[in-house]
Amino acid sequence: MFKKRARVSNSKNPKSFFDEEFWIDTGALYSFVPEDCLQRIGVEPSVPRNLVLADGRQETRLLGFCDFQIEGLEGSIPYPVIFAPKGSLFLIGATALENFGVEVDPLQKRLKPILAVIGGFLASDAQSINGDTINIKAKLIELPPG
């Protein structure tokens, strides 16, 4: 794991933000931000989420949405965050990394762009059976190396 600086802002009020060093954690689905920091910039929770923490404990935490801008990446993108207990680590999880279109290079400790794939196959032959059932033959897409 390594850290990246990020700006977290309230989606409804972008002038309300904070900057922090976040751990890049591909093992976490959601990003994790201490609830006092989110409350300070006016981010409101939307729904509860049942989670399994790194130590195996299960816990229900609130989920909300805010904008992230990650050092070295273009744009500010809204995405879900977990309201973590006060004093918790700041984590950027897999959902945010996917939204930014990057993967982790753990050896060079950097985020690198990836080609976004929409769907996993191309429909090459679609036919109707009995007038209401569609049978699709598919071709796998091979991505270029790199």
pLDDT tens for residues 94-131? 999 988 999 999 899 999 998 876 765 554 444 444 44
Q: What is the CATH number of domain 3-113?
A: 2.40.70.10
Q: Which of 93, 94, 64, 98 is nearest to 81 (CA)?
A: 64
What does the pLDDT look like over 33-84, one tens digit per residue?
A: 999 999 999 999 999 999 998 889 999 999 999 999 999 888 888 889 999 9
Q: Which of 26, 6, 3, 20 is nearest to 77 (CA)?
A: 6
Rg (CA), the chain: 19
The pTM assigned to this predicted structure is 0.77
Please report, for residues 6, 51, 132, the alpha-carbon distance to residue 21 in angstroms, rounded to integers and kept in the order given. Answer: 6, 23, 54
DSSP E strands in 71-132: the ranges are 77-84, 91-92, 102-105, 110-113, 121-129
Helix, strand, coil abundance in the chain, percent, nearest 5:
10, 55, 35
SS3 of residue 36 by DSSP: helix
